[in-house]
Amino acid sequence: MFELPKINLKGKVSAQEWQTRVELAACYRLFVMHGWDDLIHTHISARIPDSDHLLINAFGLSFDEVTASNLVKIDINGNVIDPNCPFEINPAGFTIHSAVHEARHEDQCALHVHTNETIAIASLEKGLLPLSQYSMFALASMSYHDYEGLAVNHEEKLRLQEDLGTANFMLLRNHGALTMGKTIGDAFMHMYDLVRACQVQLQVMSTGMAPIFVDQSIVDGIKAQANIVHSGLTGGQKAWPAMMRRVSRQYPDFAD
Ligand SMILES: [Zn+2]
Ligand SMILES: [Zn+2]
């Protein structure tokens, strides 16, 4: 009754799909390693390059049970592609991902968290403040979406897409955070920056002492620099292989 169905898709799917499965499974394990997972809730979704299919976690699995093979392949509406797939997805939870993937076809990956610090900062009227260097990366590409309740209906989906625009970072008011990236590695790095920025802001605020804010001209000028540091070979794509190696040392079964 507590056993998970065993499936192995290695060699049975395209090389591109398998690569996406391995990297996405690694990202789920990194969530556990960073304490970003939330029992069986929240999601990381990734588009299989050159296709309209997405991969997402099977609903009911803890993130340290997610493997390359048990990720579920779905279309943009959340329909499961493989008729023999023993798992289902969380359709209500998928709505946010469906909205962002639909609006941002060029971005492969969307990460969604409910960490205490991102919920706390998202619940402040002024949101993320320019305090730490981590906040610079996030503020260069930040958006907010107001809380409208548990279920996301069609109208909210449109508002969410409009709120996101071209931003890579989103604070979901009273709810958590979302980051997007051209690759899984980029989206992961974005979330790392955002979580750290939220943690630092709360620590600064908790002292009750007057903080030094980064000047707005520096915030405005940071966008080009953020792009250089955090994507391509100098940033996310350099750190990502190291993160993948760390996952394989800690969780050798992630690529099953
Ligand atoms: Zn959520
Ligand atoms: Zn989600």
Average pLDDT of span 38-62:
96
**Which pLDDT score is estimated for 228?**
63
Taking CA 77 as the corner, what is the angle to CA 73 and CA 78, rounded to the nearest 5 degrees? 40
| 255 lies in some domain | no
**Which pLDDT score is estimated for 235?**
61
Number of domains in the chain: 1
CA 48 to chain centre: 16
> If you measure from the C-alpha of residue 113 to the centroid of ligand 1, how many angstroms do you get, rounded to a whole number?
6
Q: Is 224 exposed, middle or buried (CB count within 10 Å of its CB: 0-12, 13-18, 19+)?
A: exposed
> If you measure from the C-alpha of residue 151 to the centroid of ligand 1, how many angstroms do you get, rounded to a whole number?
10
Q: Does residue 233 have a pLDDT over 70?
A: no
Q: Where does the pLDDT of residue 226 fall: very low under 50, low under 70, confident under 90, or very high at 90 and above?
A: low
| 40 lies in some domain | yes
**How confident is the model over 77-87, as pLDDT tens digits?**
999 999 999 99
| 256 lies in some domain | no
**Which pLDDT score is estimated for 222?**
82
Q: In what order do the strands lie in the sheet with 54-56?
A: 72-74, 54-56, 44-47, 109-113, 176-181, 169-172, 142-145
Return the ligand number nearest the Cα of 99. Answer: 2
> If you measure from the C-alpha of residue 214 to the centroid of ligand 1, how many angstroms do you get, rounded to a whole number?
30
- Ligand 2 ion local residues (Cβ < 5 A): 43, 93, 112
Average pLDDT of span 154-163:
95
Return the ligand number nearest the Cα of 97. Answer: 2
**How confident is the model over 205-217, as pLDDT tens digits?**
999 999 999 999 9
Sequence-distant (≥ 6) Cβ neighbours of residue 245 within 8 angstroms: none
| 35 lies in some domain | yes
Q: Does residue 116 have a pLDDT over 70?
A: yes
> If you measure from the C-alpha of residue 203 to the centroid of ligand 2, how many angstroms do you get, rounded to a whole number?
27
Please say whether the beta carbons of 243 and 186 come within 8 A: no
Return the ligand number nearest the Cα of 112. Answer: 2
Taking CA 127 as the corner, what is the angle to CA 123 and CA 130, rounded to the nearest 5 degrees? 150
| 25 lies in some domain | yes
Compare 251 and 225 and report the one with higher pLDDT.
251
> If you measure from the C-alpha of residue 66 to the centroid of ligand 1, how many angstroms do you get, rounded to a whole number?
18
**Which pLDDT score is estimated for 152?**
82
Q: Where does the pLDDT of residue 237 fall: very low under 50, low under 70, confident under 90, or very high at 90 and above?
A: confident
> If you measure from the C-alpha of residue 178 to the centroid of ligand 1, how many angstroms do you get, rounded to a whole number?
9
Segments forming the whole domain that contains residue 193: 15-250
Average pLDDT of span 181-193:
95
Strands 54-56 and 44-47: what pairing? antiparallel
